[in-house]
Amino acid sequence: MTSIGTGDEHTHSLDNISDSELESVLRKRGSDFDAMLQNHKEQKQFEHGVARSLKEMGREVEMASRLTYNDELIKWCDVVVPCGGDGTFLLAASRVRDAEKPVIGFNSAPHKSVGRLCLPTWCSNDVKGALHALKEGRFRWMRRSRIRTTITCEPKFLDTITPVDLHTLHYSRYPAVVHPHDSTDAPTTNEQFTTEERKSVLHTKVLPFLALNEVFIGESVTSRVSLLRLQIDKGAWTHTKSSGLCVTTGTGSTSWHFSINCLRTHSVLELMKILSEEGVKVDTTLEKAREIAERYNQRLMFPPESDKLAYSVREYITFEEWPAPRGLRVRDRAAAVRVRSHCVDAGLVIDGSVSFPFNDGTEALLEIHPEDALMTVHMDDALPY
C-alpha cells in the first residue's frame, strides 16, 4: 500500500539551500511563511496518521511525495492512497495504468476544500473508522473513465515529447521553438509531403499519463492565440483560433468544463428581457432566470463512467455567417477528438499537473478506452454508524 502526500516543491525548486535561507527567500517575496509552515505540519501529521492507522491494521505501507512517486512503487502496492485534495488525487491517479489497482483518497484539509474525488469529510475526521468501513466492504466500487492521449509527430521530435511537472516548474516556458516555416531546413512548396506520404514517415507515442479530469491544449503564453486544427470523431478538419481547447471526462465535467460553459443568472435574465422586448411572453423574474440557468448548467455534467468526451473551444475567434455559422460547435460531446497544432510554444496539459510540448506539426488523438478506467470507491456522505 502506498500513501501519497503533497511534496516539498519550494525546497525542490531551490536546491542546496538551508531551512533558514528558504524562510528568508519566501518572506522576502511576500509569502506568508508562518501559514505555509503550519499547513505543511498539518499535512505531514495527517499523512503519518493515515500510515500509522494502516500499519495498525497489519498493512505494509510505503510513503511517497510527488517527487518520489514512481512506477516501481505503483507496481509494488495493492492500493494507492493519496492524502491531500483533488489535485493530489489527480496526480496519483494519472500514473496508475492498471484498471484493477484502486486509488482511494483522503482529503487532508476538509475544512478548507471539498475534495470531490476523495472520501467524504467524515472519513478525514475519523480515519480509523473509514479504514474499517473499507475493510468491511461498506462502499461500492466505482470506475471513472480517463482520457488516453496518443501523440503523432516526426521521428526526430518524438523524444522531445517529455513531461514537465508544473508543480515544480519555476518558469513555465518551454525552450525557444523555431517555427518550421521560418527554418532554413524547411522543405519548399514543391518538397511538401502529401498527406499519405507524411503519414508514412510519422511515429506515434502513447503518453504515460491518463487524464481523469481533462486535457488542455494551448499556447504557454495565455495572451497568444492558439492555432489548432480539430477533427471531431471522423468529421471534417476545422481550423480554429482560440484561447485553447479543453477536452474532459465525465469526472471533469463538474470542474473546468463547467466553469468554461456555465451560464450565470444575470446573463440569462438579460436574454429573457430581450425576448420580452421582442414580444415573446416570458417570465423575467430573477427566480425564473435562476431556475433556467440551473437547468442549463445541469446538462453540462455527465456521469464519470461515460465513454464519451466533452470538448470546449475557449473564446473561439470566428467569423459567422448569419444564419448559418461556419465551422464546428464550440462545445459538444464526442467519442474521439483529434488535434493538430499550428502553435509556436504550446503545451498539452494533463489534469493541470503534467505538461508536454505540443508545437507546430504535432498531432494528438484523445479518446477513452474501457481498460483505462480508474478503479476507486464511493462511500456515503453520512457516518456509517
pLDDT in the model for residue 184: 38
Of 3.40.50, 2.30.30, 3.30.450, 3.30.70, the CATH number of 2-138 is 3.40.50
Instruction: Read off the pLDDT band of 90 (50, 70, 90).
Output: very high
User: How confident is the model over 317-356, as pLDDT tens digits?
Assistant: 875 555 444 668 899 999 999 999 999 999 999 999 899 9
Look at residue 193 in the predicted model and tell me its pLDDT: 41
Cα(6)–Cα(69) distance, integer angstroms: 11
pLDDT at 200: 56
Average pLDDT over residues 144-155: 94
Higher-confidence position of 122 and 158: 122
Highest mean pLDDT among 103-117, 179-193, 287-301, 322-336: 287-301
So what's the pLDDT on residue 186? 38
Of residues 217, 220, 224, 225, the one with CA closest to residue 245: 217
Q: Which amino acid is at 61?
A: V
Q: How confident is the model at residue 168 (pLDDT cuts 50, 70, 90)?
A: low
- Residue 32: count of CB within 10 angstroms of its CB: 11
Angle, helix 33-56 to helix 19-28, in steps of 10 degrees: 130
Which of 27-36, 128-137, 143-152, 288-297 bottoms out in mean pLDDT, i.e. has the lowest? 27-36
Structure confidence by residue, pLDDT tens digits, 207-265: 999 999 999 999 998 889 999 999 999 999 999 999 999 999 999 999 999 999 999 99
Q: With bands split at pLDDT 50, 70 and 90, how would you rate the model's confidence at 197? A: very low
pTM: 0.83
Pick the more confident residue, 10 or 188: 10
In the chain, pLDDT over 90 holds for what percent of residues? 65
Percent of the chain with pLDDT over 70: 84
pLDDT of amino acid 342: 95
pLDDT at 100 (0 to 100): 94
Residue 307 CA to its chain's centroid (Å): 17
Under the banding of pLDDT at 50, 70 and 90, the label for residue 202 is confident
Chain-centre distance for alpha carbon 94: 9
pLDDT of residue 30: 82
pLDDT, residue 2, reads: 59
* The pLDDT value given to residue 317: 85
> Are the C-beta atoms of 55 and 46 separated by less than 8 Å?
no
Question: Please, which pLDDT band fits residue 177 given cuts at 50, 70 and 90?
Answer: very low
Residue 205 has pLDDT above 50, yes or no: yes
9 pLDDT higher than 70: no
Question: What mean pLDDT value characterizes the chain?
Answer: 85
Taking 60 as the threshold, does the pLDDT of residue 185 lie above it? no
> Is residue 283's pLDDT more than 80?
yes
Confidence of residue 179 (pLDDT cuts 50, 70, 90): very low
Over 70: is that where the pLDDT of 286 sits?
A: yes
Q: Would you kindly state where each structural domain of the chain is located, as residue ranges? A: 2-138, 147-261+301-370, 263-299
Task: Give residue-wise pLDDT tens across range 102-115.
Answer: 999 999 988 777 77
Residue 105's pLDDT is: 95
CATH superfamily for 147-261+301-370 is Probable inorganic polyphosphate/atp-NAD kinase; domain 2 (2.60.200.30)
- Average of per-residue pLDDT across 60-78: 92
